[in-house]
Structures are given as C-alpha cells and as structure tokens.
Amino acid sequence: MKNLGKAIVFTLAVIWLVIDVYPLIFMVFVSMKSSKEYLSESIWALPDAFDLTNYVEVMKSGFYIYYLNSVFIVAISIVVLILAATMASYAFGKLRFKMNAPLYTLFMAGMMIPVHVTLIPIFRITNLIGLYNTRIGLVGPYVAFGLPVSIFLLTTFMAQVPNELEEAAIIDGANKWQRFAKIAVPISIPAINSVMIYNIVHYWNEFVYALILINDPDKRNVNLGLWAFYGDHQVDVPNVLAALALSVLPLIVTYIFLQQKIVKGMIAGSVKE
C-alpha cells in the first residue's frame, strides 16, 4: 500500500515536471529557429539546425551590456535589501520597543500598494535627488518595494527563535549586534534564502521602474533590452526567446548556488534541538 502511494506521488510529480519543463524546451527549441523557420514551418518541427546563431546575434546586439546592468542593479539592491530587512526584522521580532507594532503595520501596509500608483511620485523623487537616468537610481525603489514582504517573512521567522538562546547570550554579555549577527541571522538562513530568491527573481524581471527611470540604451536592463526585437507591430519571437533563455540562465545558476550554500548551512549550523 505504501509503495502504491509513493508511486502515485512520484507519477504526479513527474507530470508536474513535464508541465514545468515543456515551456522551457519549447523556448529553447524555438530560440534556435530563424524567424522564417518559426513562422513558415510547423511549430512542432525540430529546429533545422541546433545552432546558436540567434544567441550570438542577441549577444552581439549589445545584449551583454544589459546583462551586466541587470547584474549590477540586482546585486546592489539585494545586498542593501537583505541588510536593511534582516536588521529591521530582528528589531520587530525580538526587541521590545514602543513603536514596534505601529512601524511593523506600516511596512505591512506597504505590501498592499499597487506598483503603478508609485510611478509618478518615484519619478519626481528620483529626479529631485539627481538620480534620474542612472542605474543606481533604481536601487532605492527596488529596495523600498522589496522591504514589506521581506520584513514580513523574516520577522515571523525571527520571532520564532527560542528566547532561551537570546537570554543565554544576554547573560553571556552579548549586545544586540552580536546577538543579531551570531544567533538570529544564522538561524534565519532558510527564511533569508526564501527572501533572496523571491526578490532576486523579482528584481531581475523588473520592468516598470526601469522603464520610467532609465533613458540611455546602454543603461537598460535585460527586460528593456528585449525591445531590440520588437518590430513594427511584430515581435521577433525566436530572438526574444533566445534573449529570455539567456536571461533565465543566471537566475537558475544563482538558485542552485544558493541552494548548495543553504543546505550546507543547515547541516552545519543545525541549532534546533
């Protein structure tokens, strides 16, 4: 009976795997076709040649610049976000102070703001501080946008850290920073991991803020860079998919990299007894 149950679960998982992988395979196959091939021949046909001409074309068209821009913007934003969010979550989750509940609610309210409402104000502010049309100018809005959810997830996690650990550390004379860095953060690594994945994906695929705050083509991120493949009321699908496939690659690599680190971290620092 047990084996049947396991078999069913496994089958369902495989079915889901197919549903997940099919679009990716479709994307890769189409990205290897020429535009003519894609439109003129059956959509099921394998590419004439498994060649990477589209990819080369995409890269040559300056796409690697957009890549670097995206990496630059996302890396800085994530670092700032994680630092600010973990610190704030530690305060909300573990420290007692008067403004705890109101400020936490303020951040929660931030989760409920639809992004388009913020466009004009953020444009104004960015212009005011002279960061219009700069890549660094995107970091502020990105971090601000990512803070509510990150703080939400991290605070609930940190609040669960057993108080005994904190109290023991206090007795040992540790101050807030030490308790934060040596206890709270390491224990919260699974949550930090989730938060990082959530935000990295979001930042990497972000479009609207980049649209309104960036003008120069050489400052564009990956998603704006796709415009090179939009013609007169027509999308050059194979090239766009090639660009998108290239775009997904670093994300997957980052995810795998993070997963390794997390697993190692959990095995090594397993504190929950």
Partner 1 sequence: MNMKRTILAIVVFVLVLGYAFAGGKPEGEEVKTKEEVITLEMWGIATSGKPTASRFEKAIELWEAENPNIQINMVNTTDAAYKTKLKTAMGAGQLPDIIFSWIGTASHKPLVDAGLVIDMRPYMEQGGWLEEYSPASIASVTYDGGIYATMTMAGARTVANFYRSDIFKQVGLGEPDPLKPPAWDKYKSILQKLMGSGVTPYAFGNREKWPGSFWFMFFLDRIGGADAYPNAADADGTGSFTDSPFIEAGRRIQELVKMGAFGEGFNGRSHEDGSPMALLYRGDAAMMLQGDWIYGNFKKQDPETAAVTKTFPFPVVPGGVGNPLNTIGAPGGQALSVSKSSDHIEEAVEFLRFISTDDRIQEMIVKSGVLTYWKGFSGMIEDPVVAKLVEMDSQSPTKQLWIQEDLPAEVSEVYLNEVQAIFGGQDPAAAMQRLEDAHARHWAWAAK
Partner 2 sequence: MRHETIRHLKDRTTTALFVLPALIIFLFYFVYPIPTAAFYSFFKWDGLGDRVFIGFRNWGELFQDGFFWGAFLNNIKLLVLAVIIQLSIAMLLALFITGGTGRVRGIMRSFFIIPLMLSSVAVGLLWSHIYEFDYGILNTLLRTIGLEGLRRDWLGDPNLAIYSGIVATAWRHLPFFMILFQAAIVGIPVPLYESADVEGASAFQKFRYVTFPLIMPTLVNALILITIGSLKYFDIIFALTQGGPYNSSNLMAIYLYKKAFGQFRMGYGSAIATALFLIVFIVVVTIVRSLRRLQRRVAFE
The residues that touch partner 1, with contacts defined as CB under 8 A, are: 35-36, 38-43, 61, 65, 68, 71-72, 75-76, 79, 82, 119-120, 123-124, 127, 132-135, 181, 189, 208, 211-212, 215-218, 227-237, 261, 265
- Two structure tokens written together for 58: 């995409």
Instruction: Give the one residue of 7, 21, 52, 136 binding partner 2; rule: CB under 8 A.
Output: 21
**Three-state DSSP state, 114:** coil
Quote the least distance from Cβ 96 to partner 1, whole Å: 27
**Three-state DSSP state, 230:** strand
Instruction: Choose the one of partner 1, partner 2, none that binds residue 169, judging by a C-beta under 5 to 8 angstroms depending on kind.
Output: none
Cα-Cα end-to-end distance for the chain: 33
Instruction: Give the one residue of 68, 103, 170, 174 binding partner 2; rule: CB under 8 A.
Output: 103
Instruction: Choose the one of partner 2, partner 1, none that binds residue 244, judging by a C-beta under 5 to 8 angstroms depending on kind.
Output: partner 2
Quote the least distance from Cβ 273 to partner 2, whole Å: 7
Q: Which is nearer to partner 1, 108 or 255 (CB)?
A: 255
Instruction: Choose the one of partner 2, partner 1, none that binds residue 17, judging by a C-beta under 5 to 8 angstroms depending on kind.
Output: partner 2
Whose structure tokens read 């670097």?
A: 68
Instruction: Choose the one of partner 2, partner 1, none that binds residue 68, judging by a C-beta under 5 to 8 angstroms depending on kind.
Output: partner 1
- Give dist(CA 135, CA 73) in Å, integer: 6
CA proximity to 187, closest of 257, 107, 93, 96: 93
- Give dist(CA 37, CA 29) in Å, integer: 11
Q: Which is nearer to partner 2, 34 or 223 (CB)?
A: 223
Quote the least distance from Cβ 248 to partner 2, whole Å: 5
Quote the least distance from Cβ 63 to partner 1, whole Å: 11
Instruction: Give the one residue of 4, 5, 234, 268 binding partner 2; rule: CB under 8 A.
Output: 5
Number of Cβ atoms within 10 Å of the Cβ of 83: 11
Quote the least distance from Cβ 110 to partner 1, whole Å: 20
Question: Footprint of partner 2 on residues 23-52 (CB under 8 A)?
Answer: 23-24, 26-27, 42-43
The phi, psi pair for 174, rounded to 5°, reads -75, 140
Instruction: Choose the one of partner 2, partner 1, none that binds residue 248, judging by a C-beta under 5 to 8 angstroms depending on kind.
Output: partner 2
DSSP 162-214: -HHHHHHHHHTT--HHHHIIIIIHHHTHHHHHHHHHHHHHHHHT--HHHHHH-
- Chain centroid, CA 68 distance in Å: 16
Quote the least distance from Cβ 62 to partner 1, whole Å: 9
Rg, Å, the chain Cα set? 23
The strand pairing partners of 18, in sequence order, are none
